[in-house]
Each structure stands twice: as C-alpha cells, then as structure tokens.
Amino acid sequence: MRRFDWWFSAIVTALFITLPVTGCSSAPAPVEEKEESTALEAPVSEADRCDGGDAEACMDLAESLVMSDAVEEAVELYMQSCELGAADGCVIVGDAHFMGIPDETVETKERGLEAFAEACRLDADSEGCVALAHHRARGAQELRDVEAGLEVLRDGCERDGGRTCRSLARYYYEGQAVDKDRERAHRYSERGCVLKDPEACVDAGNRYRYGEGVEADAHRALEFYEEACRLESYRGCLNLERFSEMVACERQANLDCPERIDEPAPVECPEGEEDMFSPMSLPLDQWEGRRGARILELRELNTSKEEPIETCQTIAYDWVANLRCNSGRPALGGHRMAAASARQGSVGGGGRCDYVIDLYELSCPEEDYEVYVDWYFCPQE
C-alpha cells in the first residue's frame, strides 16, 4: 500500500471511530461495535516499516523503484537498508557507486569501497568482502592497495566466510597480487568447502582431480564434487556426473570411455535451406546429450569449427560468461555483456548440421582459449 493510501485509510478510520452515533437515543455505542470498528485500522505500509527500521522493507521498496527505472531513488533506499544492517544492501550501494551512480568521480568510488567494507563487516561471507578485495588488489590505480585487499580476504576467511576463503584460494592459485602457491590455494579451498561454500567445494575437488597443490586422489575429488552438488552447485553436479563416469571407465576395461562420455546424442539435422537459420527444438534426452552439455571448465573443452559446443542462443552468453579458468574463477566474471564482447564474430558453417558457428576468445592466467559455439541447439518448450 502506498503511503498516501495508508494515511487516507487511517483518517477515514479515525473519523469512523470518533463520530457520535445518530438516532433517538444519545446513549453511547455498544462496546462490541467499538471493538469491530478498531479492526478497520489499516496495516502498516512497507514505506512506514522501512522508516521504522525494517531493512528488508527498504530493500523491497528499492527493488520496486529499480523496476520503475528510478535508480537513484532506489540507491538511497539501499543505503538506508545498509545503515540498518543489511549487508546485501551495502553491496548494491557499492556496485552502484562503481557503475557511476551518481557520478564517475574518485570520491564516489571511495564511497563504494566504504559500502563494500561495511557489508564485509556485517557478514564475512558477503560478496562485499570479495568486491572490496578486488578493487583494492586489482582495481583502478588510484584505489589500489594490494596488501589491504588481501587482508580483507584473510580476515573474512578467519571469520568463517566461505566465499572469502574461496576467493583467497583463487588469488594464490593464479598468482595474482601474491606469489603463486598451489598448496595454500588448496588449503583455502578446503576451508571454504568446510564452511559450506559450494564453489569452494568444486575448486577443492578439481585440486584433487588434477593433483594441484595436493596429491591427485580421484576418491577425494568425487567427495568434494558430491558435497558441492549437495550444496546445490550446478557446476559441482556436472563435475560429479562426468568425473564419476570417467572413474568408472578407468575401473572397468569393458567400457569405451571416450564414446560413452563425450559422444553427443544423435540428432536429425534440418534439410531445407529455409530451416538453416532456425534453431532445432530438441527433446530432453537430446538436449542433455548435446556436445559440451556437462562442461564448464575451459581446460576440458576441445572445440573447433567442426566440433563446436552446442547450446541455445537464449542462454549462449550466460554459458560462455560462466566458463571457468583452472583456478575456478569465471574467465569473464559471469557477466553476459563481457561474453558479448568476447564474441569475435561468425566463422561460417560447421558442426554436425552446418549451422553458422561463432568464435569467442577468453583469457585466463594459464592460457588463452578459443571457444567455438553452435547456438542453434535448443530444448523443447
């Protein structure tokens, strides 16, 4: 209910309660009628709950303003929620300041850092800790303080922030802003997993799988993938399924591992030229069995114009944006716009059905990757 509506209802209710009862008798109204009239009092509006100190109400109001394109007004409410102790509100304020709201000045970005710092103070597992560390360790030169950024992550990890442990592990794995230390990276990944960060569990599983900073151990890798999947990590579930099959193949000589694991499900390609620019609509088994369906790790991809990744145009940018470097970090930060920028254009017909293939270039600390994508494979609705 809007603030105006609430006040209008409150005034009407007050008048109803206080007006005398007309008629022959001047006796007061029965008690039970008074009790019924008090039930007409209006509920407290979301705006008043926000003004009364309800951080969640402020967040809800801010979200509705964002949907109405009233962004600057929304940021004010997010700031109010931050002051009331909502770490997520602080993170949004920090992001807004780095996006140039209200302006692009260094002072505004400094306020963004302050908002991230407050989020991190409120919650050691907040995205604010990771954002603050990133801008201090890798950000613009005028804001950079590498040691301060790393200390944010160390402190957050010590305060049982699983997300901050995972982020710190990736710094050490990649050797970004610190000396490369795979053993330390593995320890922080394991700690993050113990603290129930699902992506830290995936990273720890990868360390055991590839023997990075720890002796390779397929059984331990599967344990960490399983925990990641239990914590609802999509990437963890994919790795668990695929690596389980690989381990089974190695243990049973009668299985043809490469074909069983990597061979895509057969599809019937369109024949007419008019269909060559229309995506196929695949039943569930073919959609789940398309080439690359279970891979999010760049080092596991081996694409070419002839054997591209098969996905749907509506999710292609999201999929590319979340492909992972060896450290576990998304090469493009998970941002769809970055995926659009990484697209180098079309390279002509290719793949199983001779659809037009797109090329993306992604850069990781370990190497640069070329990823060929056929985005004409879509699931049936």
d(CA 240, CA 349): 33
Q: Spell out the domain ranges in the chain.
A: 3-43, 273-379
Percent of the chain with pLDDT over 90: 74
* 195-254 tens-digit pLDDT: 999 999 999 999 999 999 999 999 999 999 999 999 999 999 999 998 998 888 777 655
Mean pLDDT score of the chain, rounded to an integer? 86
Cis omega before residue 102 (within 30°)?
Answer: yes
* 299-314 tens-digit pLDDT: 999 999 999 999 999 8
Comparing 211 with 337, which gets the higher pLDDT? Answer: 211
* 28-70 tens-digit pLDDT: 444 444 444 444 555 778 899 999 999 999 999 999 999 888 9
Residue whose structure tokens are 């007050």: 14
In this predicted structure, the answer to whether residue 10 has a pLDDT above a threshold of 50 is no
Burial 185-220 (b: 16+ CB within 10 A, else e): bbbbbbbbbebebbbbbbbbbbbbbeebbbeeeeeb
Q: Which of 294, 276, 149, 321 is CA-nearest to residue 236?
A: 294
Cα–chain center distance at 93: 17
**Residue 180 · residue 172 · CB < 8 Å:** yes
DSSP string, 320-347: HHT-B-TTS-BTTTT-HHHHHHHEEEEE
Extract long-range pairs of 21-24: CB within 8 Å, 24+ residues apart: none
Comparing 23 with 214, which gets the higher pLDDT? Answer: 214
Cα–chain center distance at 327: 17
DSSP string, 3-30: HHHHHHHHHHHHHHHHSPPPSS--PPPP
Within 84-161, where are the H helices?
87-98, 106-122, 127-137, 146-158
d(CA 168, CA 276): 47
Q: Which of 270, 286, 294 is CA-nearest to residue 354?
A: 270
